[in-house]
Structure 1
Amino acid sequence: MDPIRIEGLNFAYGEGDLRRPVLRDVSLTVHAGEVVLLTGPSGSGKTTLLTLIGALRGMQDGSCRVLGREMLGASERDRVALRRRIGFIFQNHNLLGFLTARQNVAMALEIEAGMPERERLDRAGAMLAAVGLAGHEDKTPAKLSGGQRQRVAIARALVAEPGLVLADEPTAALDKVSGGEVVHLLRDLAKSRGTAILMVTHDPRILDIADRIVTMEDGRIVEAANAA
């Protein structure tokens, strides 16, 4: 099963005279274990496409199958259930400042009914060690660097073993060294688990992590090529 299979997807904001098409006849497949970068100018529809794939907004037209579930016509309950199977990583990491790194990561396991708190915290600690943060588990985000905070976000995204990871500009707030380390770490961890990654980026420094680079322009996919 391909984690993402999209055919003929269209999406617009607004209604009537204010209706503004954002995505036009988009078709895209992402295979298991594949790293695909979504590039293109601002306003080309990349983030909107990511939010539809991530079940963060409802579909309007076309087919979008994510982890085997069709999103066209899906109820809010269905979308919530799907979101629990996806790991999300955002530009601003979205960590809770009053929780430690371990607690932030463990939150992603609260959906696992019946899992004891001790097991959640142990798994969170192991995942933090996997992203190179052993010894930092009990620090709050304010006591971590930008690159370390994004590593916590990666740990949180991967700890529940999702079938798909969606990342939106994960290196935008990081310097060159930290950004490169973070995305290579994400790729290596996901590859070892056979997890697909779809990442929106404007950052030309990280193109080498991709299996494929998909370019969007004016709501359409204008190029999809294997990375060199």
Structure 2
Amino acid sequence: MPAEAPVLLRGITFAYGEGELRKAVLRDVDLTVAPGEIVLLTGPSGSGKTTLLTLIGALRAMQDGSARVLGQELKGAPESVRVRLRRNIGFIFQNHNLLGFLTARQNVAMALEQDAALGERQRLDRAAELLGQVGLAEHLDKLPAQLSGGQRQRVSVARALAAEPGLVLADEPTAALDKASGHEVVMLLRHLAKSRGVPILLVTHDPRILDIADRVVAMEDGRIVGATAERNAAA
């Protein structure tokens, strides 16, 4: 029997507000993401991309439909279950979300604090190793303000990888980066997906990075309106 897809969505519907103020933002969305697959979600602002990402990431409670993420059904799941699932998901955000008073190494090491088997020195050593893998071996002890935008985003990539997640969710990770820095970040993500079999679901408006995707899924008015295969997933 084939393994279950890491992300399996059926009939996802979601709205904000109540009564006359109720506004539907997702309408009957179906989506499957396979192991090691890179899927880009595109579409105009307000089309529901980020809301869908937050539901998959267990950051919001489900309303209607079924969402199985890393084998866990999220419809009706209590907050405690969603918290456990979030620990197995790496999140990368446009604004980095780094703590300004911690060094690059300390920011990454924080993602390992939930592993009680690791002492502080082990966490810091692991963080240094990850930062070296994303090209920041010379910047371990710099604060975020001392790093460029591209370097800060690479710290956030290293942090997302720290706990060896089963899924990576990225929301506009290249929006604030120049062409060269943006390319570096997405190639790091592509290497992760293909070398470790980790699926990546990435929300973007950036046409420069479409060619890293196995599929580009277009959304409009809360619905998926098309999907395009950009490259062979086995490439």
Q: TM-score range by the shorter chain?
A: over 0.9
Q: Secondary structure at the match of 1:109?
A: coil
Tell me the TM-score normalized by structure 2. Answer: 0.95
2:118 aligned with 1:107: no
Mapped partners of 1:16, 1:179: distance in 2: 42
Gaps of 5+ in 2: none
SS of alignment partner, residue 61 of structure 2: coil
Q: CA deviation at 1:189?
A: 2.4
**Shift, 1:185, TM fit:** 1.3
Q: Deviations over 1:60-90 (max 9, x none)?
A: 0000000000000000111111111000000
Tell me how far apart the structure 1 counterparts of residues 148 and 189 of structure 2 sit (CA, whole Å).
17
Q: Which residue of 1 aligns with 2:76?
A: 73
Specify the alignment match of 1:127 in structure 2: 130
Which residue, out of 210, 213, 222, partners 2:213? 210
1:224 equivalent in alignment to 2:227: yes
Alignment of 1:152 with 2:152, yes or no, is: no
Note if 1:174 corresponds to 2:174.
Answer: no
Partners of 1:54 and 1:179 in 2: CA distance: 23
Q: TM-score, normalised by structure 1?
A: 0.98
- Three-state SS of the structure 2 residue aligned to 1:182 is helix
Q: In structure 1, how many angstroms separate the alpha carbons of the residues matched to 2:120 and 2:194?
A: 28
Superposition map of 1:5-24 within 5 A: 5-24=8-27
Q: What's the RMSD between the two structures over aligned residues? A: 0.8
Identity within the alignment, %: 75
Aligned partners of 2:70 and 2:223: how far apart in 1?
23
Counterpart of 1:226, as a letter, is A
The DSSP-based 3-state class of the residue aligned with 1:102 is: helix
By how many angstroms is 1:135 displaced? Answer: 1.4
Q: Counterpart of 1:59? A: 62
Q: 1:46 aligns with which of 46, 49, 60?
A: 49
SS of alignment partner, residue 135 of structure 1: helix
